[in-house]
């Protein structure tokens, strides 16, 4: 079965209401109106507080869905393990750059076996932790769940260490008029992340009287795998407890296995007269103890990211900010491993948004000028909840750095550009109003890393994408970056 690589979400999320970008820490929301209808114009480039609130209300379930991904990505062991591997791959990627400052080309791996192996191992480690991706066949009925042994290799100092992980494999069928179609997927973090966010969608949509047009179309898809697995093992499990267990399972590297064990614990306890609520409290206490024991390692790992990017001004600033948010959220989870879920169930969403600052977001508006040769130019709106604009700009340079990396991996730029596609497009393509974007639209759309070369050769004032490339080359920004 095809595995959708979660580090390249733009490849499969173009039709989604919302999309969270795991290594970029922001999300996009597809708004069902034009920018003019939202309150923007050629002369008015910012939304008023009232206009922002209106957009937020109209897209509330989608925003909360993506915000939950962000919080759980930053404050769980699985999220941090995937980030660790991403940082390792990116630090190797920075060594592939063309010498000198004038070129944006990556030379790919230069047959350096240790780099090559470390890169591949980190990539496969993340793929194993994430498990399956978007379901190609509908999951109508689970036939069985069995364990599948997967080898994970990682470097421990100078040694390569291989450990076996026993990952749950879900065998299921799609019922069709012409018979059953059998398939199987691995239960990893992807399905738990989507389960949590989808179930919260349903709850919040009902409360807000939002019409969830997508809810029926999401049945038997990746959004409902978590619920189906839990109900297959324990038909009487409450939805709220499925979500709580999914959140707590993300504190284990083998989160699919942890989730199944927790569901079975609830089932076993109920046969011994212990209520689901009591069982969840007992599991919470175990997770709290585990998180307390792991806190020092968690903080040390995060500080290591900042050290790795020291001297790359924007990336250092971005990772310093994300580290601070991660540690705050992790400590909040030590108090209650499911604090975000409990607050949403208690209808304290405003308090949650006060406690945890919303990450950056991009509103994608409908095309406003269908007859225009460039209908996407300055169409969308990128928003930030941050007061510190330097950090906001640094986070956007990090988005560009991740995009540049994810379009290449270990391939040379020459090879990448032989199969140029629109989905190599700069993440900021439709919210940019710079003359570079206007004059070099094709470059920004099909090979945005090359915009750096134009900026280096002229004024050396870099756009967000240009600065992401510059930081990959290892130097601090010598001049101010264009907002």
Most confident residue range from 84-88, 96-100, 317-321: 317-321
* In the predicted structure, residue 279 carries a pLDDT above the cut 50: yes
- Tokens encoding 134: 């978007």
- At how many degrees (to 10) do helices 225-233 and 255-271 cross? 40
In angstroms and rounded to an integer, the radius of gyration of the C-alpha atoms of the chain is: 23
The pLDDT, as a whole number, for residue 9 is 36
Q: Which residues, at least 6 apart from 383, have a Cβ–Cβ distance to it below 8 Å?
A: 47, 52, 360, 361, 362, 363
The pLDDT, as a whole number, for residue 479 is 47
Of 314, 313, 395, the residue nearest 26 (C-alpha): 395
DSSP three-state, residue 16: coil
Check residue 359 and report its DSSP letter.
P
The distance between the two most distant Cα atoms of the chain, rounded to a whole number of Å, is 74
Of 203, 191, 194, the residue nearest 344 (C-alpha): 203
* In the predicted structure, residue 202 carries a pLDDT above the cut 90: no
* In the predicted structure, residue 118 carries a pLDDT above the cut 90: no
Mean per-residue pLDDT for 306-330?
A: 93
* In the predicted structure, residue 8 carries a pLDDT above the cut 50: no
Provide the β-strand partners of residue 173: 141, 182
pLDDT-based confidence at 368, cuts 50/70/90? low
Is the separation of the CB atoms in 280 and 266 below 8 Å? Answer: yes
DSSP three-state, residue 156: strand
* In the predicted structure, residue 108 carries a pLDDT above the cut 50: yes
pLDDT in tens, 156-190: 777 888 989 899 999 999 999 899 999 999 999 99
pLDDT in tens, 373-410: 777 888 899 988 888 999 999 999 999 999 999 998 77
């Amino acid at each position: 079965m095809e595995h959708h690589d979660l580090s390249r979400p733009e490849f499969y999320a173009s039709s989604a209401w919302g999309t969270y970008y795991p290594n970029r820490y922001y999300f996009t929301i597809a708004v069902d109106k034009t920018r003019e209808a939202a309150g923007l114009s050629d002369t008015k480039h910012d939304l008023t507080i009232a206009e922002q609130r209106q957009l937020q209300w109209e897209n509330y379930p989608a925003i909360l869905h993506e915000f939950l991904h962000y919080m759980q990505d930053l404050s769980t062991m699985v999220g941090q393990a995937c980030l660790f591997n991403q940082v390792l791959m990116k630090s190797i990627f920075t060594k592939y750059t063309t010498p000198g400052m004038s070129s944006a080309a990556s030379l790919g791996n230069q047959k350096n076996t240790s780099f090559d192996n470390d890169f591949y191992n980190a990539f496969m480690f993340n793929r194993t932790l994430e498990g399956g991706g978007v379901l190609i066949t509908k999951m109508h009925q689970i036939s069985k769940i069995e364990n599948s042994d997967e080898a994970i290799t990682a470097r421990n100092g100078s040694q390569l260490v291989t450990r076996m992980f026993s990952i749950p494999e879900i065998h299921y069928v799609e019922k069709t008029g012409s018979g059953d179609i059998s398939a199987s997927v691995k239960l990893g973090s992807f399905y738990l992340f989507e389960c949590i966010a989808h179930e919260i969608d349903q709850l919040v949509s009902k409360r807000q009287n939002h019409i969830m047009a997508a809810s029926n179309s999401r049945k038997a898809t990746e959004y409902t795998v978590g619920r189906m697995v839990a109900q297959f093992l324990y038909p009487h499990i409450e939805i709220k407890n499925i979500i709580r267990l999914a959140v707590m399972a993300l504190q284990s590297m083998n989160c699919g296995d942890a989730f199944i064990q927790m569901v079975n614990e609830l089932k076993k306890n109920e046969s011994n007269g212990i209520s689901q609520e009591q069982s969840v409290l007992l599991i919470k206490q175990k997770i709290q103890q585990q998180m307390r024991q792991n806190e020092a390692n968690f903080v040390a790992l995060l500080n290591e990211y900042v050290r790795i990017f020291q001297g790359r001004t924007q990336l250092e600033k971005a990772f310093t900010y994300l580290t601070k948010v991660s540690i705050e959220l992790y400590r909040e989870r030590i108090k209650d491993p499911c604090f975000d879920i409990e607050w949403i169930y208690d209808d304290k969403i405003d308090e949650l948004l006060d406690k945890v600052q919303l990450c950056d977001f991009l509103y994608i508006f409908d095309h406003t000028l269908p007859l225009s040769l460039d209908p996407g130019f300055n169409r969308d709106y990128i928003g930030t909840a941050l007061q510190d604009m330097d950090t906001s700009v640094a986070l956007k340079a990090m988005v560009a750095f991740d995009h540049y990396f994810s379009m290449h991996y270990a391939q040379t730029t020459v090879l990448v550009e032989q199969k140029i596609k629109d989905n190599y497009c700069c993440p900021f393509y439709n919210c940019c109003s710079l003359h570079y974007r206007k004059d070099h639209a094709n470059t920004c759309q099909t090979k945005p890393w090359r915009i750096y070369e134009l900026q280096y050769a002229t004024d050396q004032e870099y756009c967000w994408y240009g600065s992401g490339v510059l930081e990959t080359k290892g130097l601090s920004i010598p001049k101010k970056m264009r907002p």
